[in-house]
Structure 1
């Protein structure tokens, strides 16, 4: 039987995990602006190292809920690994928010948006190790987006080695030369770009416009035992998502995210993707769709968003042919989302 700490925690509090990324913004804002308290919730935020930790702590009952990559919902809910338990996705927290960043050792004049990468690797790759890119998790959108990018430019897994690292470790591994690039959420693209050792050929909105990114993932036990609190949690985060989307709130959002307990990134780094333009290391491009936090088309946990993730995982080779499955509507809970949306003032 799966161990659980659910019953041993204080019954009134909610243990909510997050990873220090720009798109933890709805959780941070809801906490700092008193939105959780407004809905009568006692939320305790827990900063996690990476997505494997989020998965494990949900499985073992250390967390009631978490900001999560969507793939962990399928991994736990459908039993894609040895860990399987009931989970639910009642809210999409944001769309987009990612980019691919390459080392400045790679000439952007030759590679461009990636269209020159194959020729560069065939003619200009001098290192004894394979060309190496990092994603945050096997079941992440970042892995899906990396595979989309390399396939778009005529490459495959046999040409490139893809490894998995926690988001905050990626810039230092790029700077040290251990990897040649990565796909990650902000602020870890801007950290390398403004640090002068990285540049971005493409953002995720250009790779797959409208793709779902982080989700609110509820432990099945929490939803079963505290359904009303689950609905209130979703309602609070919908309100927070709306505030995060407001351009007039962006400087306040940057100040919140810059705090040590959230991203600890400098305000300059955070502004690079949260303001009107995104500096890629080679040019300034529009950042109008870099982060999308609010709207029914953003936040609704629809089965088409679930299908995008599943199709991407299959295309990237992350799902074996014999992988277990399940009902998308059982996992992606539009009923909880609708109850939260209709109950908001």
Structure 2
């Protein structure tokens, strides 16, 4: 834990404990440093960058500068090799005599999303800066004076249903019966995505094709692919980028694929082998929208025989309208996939076309 003493000689415990965590941004693969900026009514209180190692969370304690009643804006920026990866901003205030915890969640859906002044990223889009953490404009209920502040990021990964809070008073003012506005119900299109092509070829010839089955353009910045290597139950997160039109395809490829003309996105992290499971997640949900392989199982070198997940080009059977949302069930590519053995880079020609489904 890092402590910044902005007011020397404070006799009480007045402070903010900024605790940063992430469900899908990995240290050090995705980020290796955090920049903390704290600005108050009297100006800048803190601007420091710290290298980070190991698992989340990473914390920083901030003491008041001139007044314990001063409101502050806290900006947390995650960096990789000095380059901005994801940023989140929250407004907060000190409570005399108490330490308040400010939970800041950095999510893969906000990777690469740059917001302007007075805005922060939530669920892949820019929204007004969160007020006091974004929970009913104040502090969570039952915390004896409001010691913990939630930044408005979902605690469980489940989308806000718009159902009223429990009726417990959050700030001493009776609940109005209105839906929780800590994280606004955005009206964003639900994810209707499907893995439609899988390539595991020689060398770095690795690719995945994703189709938008919905009737609205879809912001893939809300989503990520999780890769589970050799039967692992922990994953590497691969954030998606771009917008895919209704019915259209998005192709993500290994950076060093032989032919990249059909690739909409490239990354060195897409380097799966035949025994690596892949899942597709959006909006921070733990349940995938689609999956390939069986998470937690090491099949040896591949799943299936003909077709198999090793040295093959596989295309999803036509007519499917929903992905495999249970990544722990038995997996055989022949159930929903057809394909052929990988021969050469000429096998990349079908990427991004769905020509097999007239």
Q: Given the two structures, how large is their TM-score scaled by the length of structure 2?
A: 0.23
Higher helix share: 1
Which of structures 1 and 2 has the bigger CA Rg?
A: 2
Q: Which has the higher strand share?
A: 2
Higher relative contact order (CA 8 A, sep 6+): 1
